[in-house]
Amino acid sequence: AWRQADARGLLDHVSTIADATQVRNLMTTCDLIVHPHRGTRVRTMVLEAMAAGRTILSAPSQELDWLVDGKTAVIVEGTSGEEWAAALLQLLEHPGHRLSISSGATERIADLHDPDQQAAGWAKLLAGVSEGVSYPFTGQERS
């Protein structure tokens, strides 16, 4: 990634980070985050960055409901450097689109991942359990 940034004269404007946990503040205050991981595990920093209005360029994931292509993130289906570079350049060359994506991400996180709503949900669940309410287990049966 840094070679492509250097070739385009962007090296002074790009940071690559191997261990994001060491620079949490930078991750949640930068302009754009490239998230190439294709699994379901994601650091809460991505959610925090989205809540703070940062644009996310990400690999696809069916399981991560907050990464919606064109609304809350830009999804790159392919794995080649050229495809990622093209998607990144589109975001850099179209700041209005980038801001629209960031706004969509902020709204979705506020609507669906609000800590107060999650705490209220947990409180309701715990209150129900303590009052003897039974919640069915819908997992697979073991043989």
Give the model's confidence band at 141: pLDDT under 50 very low, under 70 low, under 90 confident, else very high: low
- Are the C-beta atoms of residues 51 and 90 closer than 8 Å to each other? no
Q: Is the pLDDT of residue 143 over 60?
A: no
Q: Is the pLDDT of residue 61 over 70?
A: yes
CA distance 30 to 26: 6
pLDDT tens across 81-103, in order? 899 999 999 999 999 999 999 99
- Are the C-beta atoms of residues 38 and 61 closer than 8 Å to each other? yes
Average pLDDT over the chain reads: 83
Domains and CATH numbers, the chain: 2-130 (3.40.50.2000)
Cite the DSSP H helix spans in the chain. Answer: 2-7, 24-29, 44-51, 81-93, 95-112, 115-130
